[in-house]
Amino acid sequence: MQKTEGEDRFSLLTDDILLSILGRVNITTAARTSVLSKRWKHLPWLLQELTIEAKDFLPGPLSCSAEAQHIDAAMALLTKAIRSFLATHQRFSSLQLKLKLYLVDNYSDTIGPLLSEAIGVGTVKDSDLSILGEKESENCNDEDMLQQASSVDGFFRAYTGVLDCLTRLSLYNVFFSERDMNHILFDCCKQLQHLYLSNCDTGGLAAWKIHAPDSNLITLELDMCFLGKLEVLHLPKLERLRWDGWMCPNAPLSFGVVPCLKELYLLCGAAVYFKGFKLSEVLRDIRLRDLTLSFQGEKLWLQPEGKQLCPAFSNLRKLSLLDIYLEFDLLWTLVFLEAAPSVEIFDVEIWEHPCAMTPEARGRTFGERTKPDWKMYEFSNGKEWLLKEVQITGFSPMDQQMTFIRAVMQRASNLRTLVLKDHAPCGECEEIGALPRSERLPAAELFPKDKEGQDMVVKQLIRNMADCHVDIIFGI
């Protein structure tokens, strides 16, 4: 196509390419392009995937108190944008809608009918809905969470059609009764595949029991949801479960019928009263492919095991053990590899963050750090490891880490790649004036950033190893 005088190169692109570009910017930017020229005027209204977020209409990052003053104005603009885009529904074919909004004032009474009509006529074929909290989770009290629950419940009851095409739902700061939670999330949202809950619970550390044999849910994510226990009794299509920040006094999970579960992520800052649990008991009859355990440095919150883990780990391909305290021995992690000889990728992340809390507060909350007492020599599976790649984040050439790495290299004959990475800088540690790692560790135990130091580490690791074929990479 020949470029005419005064025509920009972007305008020469075909509609599908321009729409692909517009799909990567927020809705306000996409809408503004319609005034560039006649060539662009119709394009924003041809988007097949539409994302409208209330925060795009806020005047920038705001404090909790200041943001409340702008939420009303943001929702007014969001409502106007939804009305404008959905009013041209005859130009759409099977729109995928991603919507993030606040349920404040009477805006839901305008948005609800607009969405219901668009869903009814087939304009919207599936939707991703996020109902945001007006406050950050740490600033919410029970009254705030009850009010949010009332707003969510009222919106869904008034506009039941909105639930019919929900494939993804995110809720923030909601206090449900167990019955109401299950009714909305599983009885009404029949197409729901991805559920994200942040600071949502059933009150009083009560257990949340999920029995939804007809559910299409594939992914369940919980972020700082303080439940007494999560009992997944029946979710036939669940593949991924992530619980970030559980604080249960006992084992956080139990499973019933979850034949498709393949990925599990657990993060816990275990308090002083927590005695740990046996992972094999939680994973009874489960065959995972991807397991991530994040300890936040304080405790391992797992009771020592060995061969009991073999059934649950028989299909494991990737294992990640994150946020292990810097001074903890790492040899105990070999128990996991011995129980999971099929693991091909093994990630270890070392934890050291003075910013987490003061030593006094940490002692009151978590008690004394106790080094792992898992005994590697008490358990051997006798099977060949399939391990191909190991990555250690927060590496330093201290004796216990070097001993651990050499033990892995000697045992894993299939190992081909070893990635050693430094700690990522922590802005919060710097903000409180915590001493940088370089001032807390001897120079000989710092991450080697120059070639001479890296060559020395490699030499130490492969010492007395004949025919070592491991590619040792130093990352950032």
Q: How many Å apart are CA 362 and CA 34, to the nearest integer? A: 55
Q: Tokens representing 296? A: 């936040």
The strand pairing partners of 350, in sequence order, are 324
The strand pairing partners of 351, in sequence order, are 325
Q: What is the mean pLDDT of residues 410-418?
A: 94
Assign 68 a pLDDT band (cuts: 50, 70, 90): low
Q: What is the mean pLDDT of residues 457-468?
A: 88
Helices 107-120 and 142-158, packing angle to 10 deg: 40
Q: How many Å apart are CA 238 and CA 268, to the nearest integer? A: 22
pLDDT at residue 66 in the model: 42
pLDDT at residue 194 in the model: 97
Instruction: Say if residue 1's pLDDT is above 50.
Output: no
Instruction: Say if residue 147's pLDDT is above 70.
Output: yes
- Are residues 435 and 381 in contact, defined by beta-carbon separation less than 8 angstroms? no
Predicted confidence (pLDDT) per residue in 202-230, tens digit: 877 788 999 999 999 999 999 999 888 99
Which stretch of DSSP H or E encloses residue 257? strand 253-257
Q: Which residues contact residue 235 at a Cβ distance below 8 angstroms, ignoring those fewer than 6 apart? A: 210, 212, 215, 217, 220, 257, 258
Q: What is the mean pLDDT of residues 92-109?
A: 83
Tokens 């409502």 — which residue? Answer: 79
Q: What is the mean pLDDT of residues 229-235?
A: 95
Which stretch of DSSP H or E encloses residue 197? strand 194-198
- Compute the residue count for the chain: 476
Amino acid at position 314, single letter: S
Q: What is the mean pLDDT of residues 67-90?
A: 78
Q: Which residues contact residue 457 at a Cβ distance below 8 angstroms, ignoring those fewer than 6 apart? A: 397, 402, 420, 448, 472
Assign 261 a pLDDT band (cuts: 50, 70, 90): very high
Helix and strand counts by DSSP (H, E) for the chain: 15, 17
Q: How many Å apart are CA 388 and CA 413, to the nearest integer? A: 9
pLDDT at residue 433 in the model: 53
Percent of the chain clearing pLDDT 70 (strictly above): 77
Assign 90 a pLDDT band (cuts: 50, 70, 90): very low
Instruction: Lowest mean pLDDT of 286-290, 293-297, 419-423, name the range.
Output: 293-297
Q: What is the mean pLDDT of residues 423-445?
A: 64
Instruction: Say if residue 89's pLDDT is above 80.
Output: no
Assign 65 a pLDDT band (cuts: 50, 70, 90): very low
The strand pairing partners of 348, in sequence order, are 321, 392
Q: What is the mean pLDDT of residues 218-244?
A: 95
Own/partner contacts of 152-159, CB < 8 Å, gap of 24 or more, are 152/103, 152/184, 153/180, 153/184, 154/108, 155/103, 155/108, 155/112, 155/131, 156/184, 156/188, 158/108, 158/109, 158/112, 159/112, 159/113, 159/115, 159/116
- Are residues 369 and 299 in contact, defined by beta-carbon separation less than 8 angstroms? yes
CA distances from 226 to 147, 196, 231, 244 (A): 18, 14, 14, 10
Give Rg (Cα) of the chain: 26
Amino acid at position 442, single letter: P
Max mean pLDDT range (49-63, 118-132, 262-276): 118-132
pLDDT at residue 177 in the model: 73
pLDDT at residue 438 in the model: 56
pLDDT at residue 377 in the model: 59
Predicted confidence (pLDDT) per residue in 4-50, tens digit: 554 566 666 666 666 666 666 666 666 555 545 555 555 665 666 77
What is the domain partition of the chain in residue ranges? 18-47, 49-384+393-414
The strand pairing partners of 379, in sequence order, are none
Higher pLDDT, 66 or 449: 449
pLDDT at residue 67 in the model: 64
The strand pairing partners of 418, in sequence order, are 390, 472
pLDDT at residue 83 in the model: 85
Helices 451-461 and 399-411, packing angle to 10 deg: 50
Higher pLDDT, 333 or 441: 333
The mean predicted confidence, pLDDT, of the chain is 83
Amino acid at position 76, single letter: A
Higher pLDDT, 29 or 167: 167
